[in-house]
């Protein structure tokens, strides 16, 4: 499988547009949907799955502990990652399924992109991390939300890319149609193709963190290859 390489952020105002009628996302209930991210036209691949009771118990245990959680890891997925998670997470006995799920997803990311290492972050948040629509300046990222609302994203037809980047009064609104905004569900495993993927420089998936109600927690996992 090809291994994408990061590139500088493109000039969206001058790059060639992709036909708006071209479908650019794939969804399914099995892991076989994830490799579709390697298709040129696909910028989002989503494996739909519910959050099971064991995963939910582990996520809720982190909230009930009442302490911050921002776990960062870079290295090979496997035993050391599993050990570090158990040392970091609250209520390890209640978090077994959560730890195993994180490790399995990290291993899947490494396998898909033929890399020995991954960069991983597991964070408990009570405010949006990236509330403005944007596209990532990296090749690809895996995300899943264990607790709380999932990330929001835009079909290409609903995006005005001239509005992306640092906000200014001179820029147009990014969203052409508020009714077109879509959201991932808790438990979904998604691969988001960014502008650093070779051949996708001007078509990175436009997405944002969801709004949270006051006091609403969100447990988010992100994984980058390499």
Confidence band (pLDDT; 50, 70, 90) for 127? confident
**β pairing state of 152-153 and 70-75:** unpaired
Residue 51 lies in a domain: yes
Q: Per mean pLDDT, which range of 10-24, 105-119, 126-140, 198-212 is the poorest?
A: 10-24
The answer to the question of residue 6 being in a domain is: no
Is 2 within a domain? no
Of the candidates 194, 193, 188, 133, the residue with the CA atom closest to the CA atom of residue 158: 133
| Residue % of the chain over a pLDDT of 70 | 90
Token couple for 30: 């099995």
Tell me if 18 is assigned to some domain.
no
Single pTM value for the model: 0.89
Beta 140-147 vs 218-225: how paired, if at all? antiparallel
91, burial (CB in 10 Å: exposed 0-12, middle 13-18, buried 19+) = middle
pLDDT at 167 exceeding the cut of 50: yes
Domain range holding 119?
25-225
pLDDT tens per residue across span 78-124: 999 999 999 999 999 999 999 999 999 999 999 999 999 999 999 99
| pLDDT range class, residue 181, cuts 50, 70, 90 | very high
The mean pLDDT value for 3-10 works out to: 37
**Domain membership flag for residue 70:** yes
In a domain, 19, yes or no: no
* Structural domains of the chain, count: 1
As a whole number of angstroms, the distance between CA 164 and CA 199 comes to 19
Mean pLDDT of the chain: 90
Rounded to whole angstroms, how far apart are CA atoms 5 and 221? 22
Domain annotation covers residue 207: yes
CATH number at residue 63: 2.60.120.10
Q: Which two three-digit tokens encode residue 9? A: 């952020």
How large is the average pLDDT for residues 65-82? 96
């Amino acid at each position: 499988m090809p291994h994408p390489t990061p590139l500088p952020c493109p000039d969206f105002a001058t790059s060639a547009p992709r036909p708006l009628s071209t479908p650019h996302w794939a969804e399914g209930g099995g892991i076989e949907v994830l490799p579709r991210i390697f298709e040129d036209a696909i910028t989002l691949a989503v494996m739909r799955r519910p959050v099971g009771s064991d995963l939910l118990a582990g996520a809720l245990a982190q909230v009930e502990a009442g302490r911050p959680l921002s776990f960062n890891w870079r290295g090979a997925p496997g035993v050391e990652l599993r050990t570090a998670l158990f040392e970091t997470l609250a209520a390890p006995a209640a978090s077994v399924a959560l730890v195993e799920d994180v490790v399995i997803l990290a291993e899947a990311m490494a396998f898909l992109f033929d890399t020995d290492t991954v960069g991983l972050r597991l964070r408990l948040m009570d405010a949006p991390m990236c509330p403005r629509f944007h596209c990532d300046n990296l090749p690809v990222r895996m995300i899943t939300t264990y607790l709380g609302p999932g990330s929001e994203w835009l079909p290409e037809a609903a995006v005005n890319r001239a509005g992306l980047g640092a906000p200014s009064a001179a820029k147009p609104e990014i969203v052409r149609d508020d009714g077109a905004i879509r959201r991932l569900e808790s438990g979904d495993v998604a691969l988001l193709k960014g502008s650093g993927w070779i051949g996708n420089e001007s078509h990175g998936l436009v997405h944002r963190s969801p709004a949270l109600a006051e006091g609403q927690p969100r447990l988010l996992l992100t994984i980058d290859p390499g």
